[in-house]
Amino acid sequence: MPKLTNRPYFKGKTVFIVSLLVIGVTALTVWLTGIQYHRALTTNFYLALGVIGSILFVFMSYGLYKGVGLKDDFPKYRSYKTGTFMEYDAVGRFKMPDTDVGDGLAGVVLSILLWVVMGIVFLLLLLFLEVLFWFSLFILIMMLYWVFFSALKQVFNKAEQTRGNLFLALTYALGYTLLYTGWLFGIVFLSTVI
């Protein structure tokens, strides 16, 4: 089949954000309906996976039938060099300073000053941990995006073959949906058997 000249594209960042929203709405729906019916946890997993699998199937079927491609528009973060964020020399052990300030008025004043200084140090440590948390979350989202994007890229590489052919588009979409969600159904099933 000839190359598609005016091929429509889904943007990767948009697809990823919509997918996260679909997962969130699915989880919220399962949770809200589960409150009324008191279903088992595995039943909730089956329901959530069924909803996500159905949406994935419809999305891939539409994209394959229309011959849609997937364009990676997520920003590149490859210029990061390790060791430039924090450079340190970790030779030896970390030793705590001696905080014995003595008795009397001078001891009380020094204790209060040390308390204020340690409060500021702990505040700075909490700020550092917050930055570390958000940085870790950012890296996790980037990894999820890459895995999700590369998986859908494999699907939409078949779009040139399936454009306008509904049966072939549905066949590929069903196959990829079973590959992407079937193993999760298997894990949930095995958890009930074991």
Q: How many domains does the chain have?
A: 1
In a domain, residue 63? The reply is: yes
Taking the model in full, what pTM does it have? 0.61
Q: CA separation (Å) from 94 to 55, 119, 128?
A: 53, 19, 18
Is the distance from CB of 18 to CB of 78 less than 8 angstroms?
no
In a domain, residue 187? The reply is: yes
Q: What is the pLDDT of residue 86?
A: 45
- pLDDT reading at 168 higher than 60: yes
Q: CA separation (Å) from 16 to 13, 159, 190?
A: 5, 19, 29
- What six digits make up the tokens of 100? 């014995």
In a domain, residue 85? The reply is: no
In a domain, residue 81? The reply is: no
In a domain, residue 61? The reply is: yes
In a domain, residue 84? The reply is: no
Is the distance from CB of 60 to CB of 177 less than 8 angstroms?
yes
Closest by Cα among 149, 166, 180 to 52: 180
Q: CA separation (Å) from 78 to 72, 74, 82, 98, 147?
A: 15, 12, 11, 44, 17
In a domain, residue 174? The reply is: yes
In a domain, residue 175? The reply is: yes
- Among 36-50, 97-111, 118-132, 175-189, the minimum mean pLDDT is found in 97-111
* Residue range(s) defining the domain that contains residue 41: 9-75+101-193
